[in-house]
Amino acid sequence: MKKLSSLIFVTLLFPGLINIAVAQQDVQTLFDGDVVHGGFGGPMIKFDDIRGDLGVWVGGRGGWVINLDDYHALTLGGGGFGLTTNHRTPGEFEVQNGNGEDYFAATGYGGLLLEYTNRSYQLLHLTATGLIGAGGLTIRDRNFTDIDEDPNPFFVMEPGIHLELNVAHFFRIATGLNYRITSGIDKAGFRDSDFTGANASITLKFGFFR
């Protein structure tokens, strides 16, 4: 009798399990379709204001592109940048050798990059980026020779928004605005306020895109 009851229970339960499995296949998700992967890399240049003077940063960024569907893509990667222009140390900065030369900031930063791209198939489309990482500040002479062997480390975070142009299937140009936030700069008269602020950028992106 118990065996017969168990058989009847399983017989009644089995169709229900099948219906549940079929229903799960129809569950709606935020991103549908097959995921297509790609990647890119390329140089990037940034322009900002450092203590009233034009600052120029040169570097690059790149990453792994995850095309979630026809409208949304995420990039996981990294980037790094270095200051190329001369920015004299604020006030008086005495150097042990006392040679009377002018001294300047030598700094750079880099970190992890996250980028969201909307409708990348369109000729012009928007991307939103976020970089989080660290950097270091030292002091150099006019010939870019470091004179300080004790760099000042700092934290950096930099969100941004960009307008991107599809030039070719393998090449894109992006221009936009970013906002750099630093924490921990305190060296030779330089402070976080000297490097925190908005900057404009141009990026050349070479790679495989959807």
pLDDT of residue 8: 44
Strand partners, 55: 48
Pairing mode of beta strands 53-67, 190-191: unpaired
pLDDT of residue 98: 52
Q: Which two tokens stand for residue 74?
A: 């995420």
Mean of the per-residue pLDDT values of the chain: 84
pLDDT of residue 16: 52
Q: What is the CATH number of domain 33-208?
A: 2.40.160.20
Amino acid, single-letter form, for residue 45? I
* pLDDT band, very low/low/confident/very high, at 210 (cuts 50, 70, 90): confident
Q: Where is 16: in which H helix or E strand? A: helix 2-25
Q: Is the pLDDT of residue 1 over 80?
A: no
Instruction: Give DSSP secondary structure letters for 103-115.
Output: -EEEEEEEEEEEE
Q: Which residue has the tokens 């924490």?
A: 183
Instruction: Give DSSP secondary structure letters for 28-56.
Output: --SS-S--EEEEEEEEEEEEEEETTEEEE
Q: Report in angstroms the alpha-carbon separations of 144 from 153, 155, 157, 181, 187.
A: 19, 23, 26, 25, 17
Count other Cβ atoms within 10 Å, centred on residue 116: 15
Q: What are the tens digits of pLDDT across the range 27-83? A: 555 555 566 888 999 999 999 999 999 999 999 999 999 988 888 999 999 999 999
pLDDT of residue 66: 92
The residues spanned by each domain of the chain are 33-208
Whole-prediction pTM value?
A: 0.80
Q: Say how many residues make up the chain.
A: 210
Q: 105, 138, 128: which is closest to 179 by C-alpha?
A: 128
Q: Which two tokens stand for residue 132?
A: 């989080």
Q: Where is 133: in which H helix or E strand? A: strand 124-140
